[in-house]
Structure 1
Amino acid sequence: MSTTPAVPADDQKPSKAGRNLPAAIGVGTCLGGLVIAVLLLAPKWWYLVVGVAMVVAAWEVVKRLREGGFDVPVIPILVGTAAIIASSWFAKGDPAAVLVALVATVLVTMVWRLLSQGLSAAPVGYLKDLAASVLVLVWIPVLASFGAAMVLADHGPQRVFTLMIVVVCSDVGGYVAGVLFGRHPMVRAISPKKSWEGMGGSLTFGVVGAVCCVVFLLDNKWWIGVILGVVLVICATLGDLVESQVKRDLEIKDMGTLLPGHGGIMDRLDSLLPSSFIVWAVLSALL
């Protein structure tokens, strides 16, 4: 999850790591409760939760891109985001259906942007706008489709819990170790608050969390948890850095303001989205 700080309220001091910590904990607890309730009581509704969250996240990113000078088509991306998630549901998690929905959405987006100025004028900045549109579609709904599809597999809710728990463990470990011991910046130019000490905390907490999940939730071998934990923590950290660089290019602090103490929906998904694919791939290959 992202460690890029949200702007604190005027009457509250941010924590050393830059967050409005009470608000972040409260919102995180509510979101965690929603995820637990859905997965335990109505796991098939997980697709709806993911679909709604991805449409909101896509809207946040599209809005920020348009504010940053990209003429990204809104309707094709939002409708395509919903269609990509829905295609996975109707195809029972088959990635081929997601690919078909992605290609169809990209084709519509290409034509939509091409004709956005009418038939009498050529679009300006067509290539960069199209590239940004494809990035949004792959970054958000395509990666999210793997996290949604896991609920349909054997021990599906447990697989999703594994994803959530290990990412949270990585985030908490990085936060604690970074605040207490952080001295050596890891990638100062992209995310100044990230440190190598924080990375060590993320790896420690993440691997322990992954081993516990694989052994106790998935009833499988501990060494699968070690592999999953290491790969997932690295992937989650890189996903966080990717969004940090995107926001740096756009000269913004957060993608949105929907979640107090966190920013927007997308600011909570930066590490979860690539991690969804990693967990899906590792568990599909090794379980």
Structure 2
Amino acid sequence: MTEPSAPAPVTPEISTRRAARAARRSAQQARTPRAGRNLPAAIGVGVGLVLVILASLVFWKPAFVYLVTAAALVGVWELDQALRSGRVDPPRLPVLASVGLIPLAYYAGADALAAGFAAAAALVLLWRSVGAQQDAVRDVAGGVFIVAYVPLLASIASLMVAQPDGVGRIITFILVTVASDTGGYAVGVLRGRTPMSPSLSPKKSWEGFAGSVATSAIVGAICVGVLLDGAWWAGLLVGALAAAFATVGDLAESALKRDLGIKDMGSILPGHGGVMDRLDSLVVTAPVCWALLHLLV
């Protein structure tokens, strides 16, 4: 019967190597932000994007529409690639062409947008019907989902900017959404204790959500009063509901990414991920801001 071998002795050299590895792990954890972002890169990219958007609004409103169209085109491509990793094969050309809904809404209005969306969905169906019939329903559903999630919702921004006071409406919409993200991030890092949805987004907390709502409501009251000459309470309502829907949009995309087994939709924006990782909140809050500003201001 063979005697069990004794464990190898721990030499000073092995102890030194283990201590060095432990020190490196500790240093890496210390450098990792609590909220999981590369904060300097995220701030730099975020500020740059806001400046580009403001410049397009100030100098020529159609430039903003084309900027949104370009961002939506990248977002559609990222979402298409993500769905393909989950074995959904949307008709690529029709979903990419559907970003034409964004300038269509600006130049022709809401009725044309509704007709254009119906035509885009029909094109997805017809395009996919030509190929093999296996998984056709799943592929068509994926294609219509992309068209509705990105180009259709992004087109609401075109409807807002087309108004006579459209620049003020768009700035209000963007600032309340950014304030929601910033306030939630800051309060979540400093005071976050109670997870909101651990299975979808472990770093989101109810304390952070309260910070999102409060910050967005304050910014909304200021923007509506200063930029749109509206009532402060209307701005509070716009900001609070925008924060709620922005959080829903963020959690919805987190659920989608978890189901597909991916961390980010892309890597084009340092510190943020892909374009869709930034559009997730904006496209969901756009209809909310458009409707509330239309009714209350």
Q: TM-score, normalised by structure 1?
A: 0.91
Partner of 2:127: 112
Q: 1:64 aligns with which of 63, 74, 82?
A: 82
Task: Give unpaired runs (5+ residues) of structure 1.
Answer: 1-9, 118-122
2:189 maps to 1:175: no
CA contact (8 A) 1:13 1:20 kept: no
CA distance in 2, matches of 1:250, 1:73: 18
**Cα distance, 1:108 vs structure 2:** 1.2
From 181, 185, 201, the counterpart of 2:195: 185
Shift of 1:30: 0.9
Structure 1 contact 64–255 (Cα < 8 Å) conserved: yes
Residue 294 of structure 2: aligned partner: 284
Aligned twin of 1:254: 264
Residue 107 of structure 2: aligned partner: 90
**What secondary structure, in the 3-state scheme, does the structure 1 residue paired with 2:202 have?**
strand
Match of 1:26 in 2: 44
Calculate the aligned-residue CA RMSD, in Å.
1.5
Cα distance in 2, alignment partners of residues 38 and 190 from structure 1? 35
Q: Which AA in structure 2 matches 1:32?
A: V
TM-score of the superposed pair, with normalisation by structure 2: 0.88
Q: 2:240 matched to 1:225? A: no
Q: Distance in 1 between matches of 2:157 and 2:227?
A: 17
Query: Is contact 1:14-1:21 (8 Å) kept?
Result: no
User: In the alignment, which residue of structure 1 is the partner of 2:140?
Assistant: 130
Farther-moved stretch of structure 1 (158-167 vs 128-137): 128-137
Q: Which amino acid aligns with 2:170?
A: V
Counterparts of 2:31 and 2:81, CA distance in 1: 29
- Is contact 2:106-2:161 (8 Å) kept? no
Q: Are 2:116 and 1:101 equivalent residues in the alignment? A: yes
Question: 1:183-231 CA deviation, whole Å, 9 max, x = no partner?
Answer: 1001111111110000110011011000000111111111101111121
* Max Rg structure: 2
Structure-2 separation of matches of 1:153 and 1:186: 37
Distance in structure 2 (CA, Å) of the matches to 1:197 and 1:29 = 25
Aligned twin of 1:44: 62
Report the structure, 1 or 2, having the larger helix content: 2
SS in 1 for 2:69: helix
Distance 1:231 1:78 in 2: 31
Question: Any gaps of 5 or more consecutive residues in structure 2?
Answer: 1-27
Q: For this pair of structures, how many residues does the alignment match?
A: 270
Amino acid at match of 1:84: L
Matches within 5 A, 1:135-146: 135-146=145-156
| Letter of the structure 1 residue corresponding to residue 61 of structure 2 | P
8 Å contact kept, 2:103–2:158: no
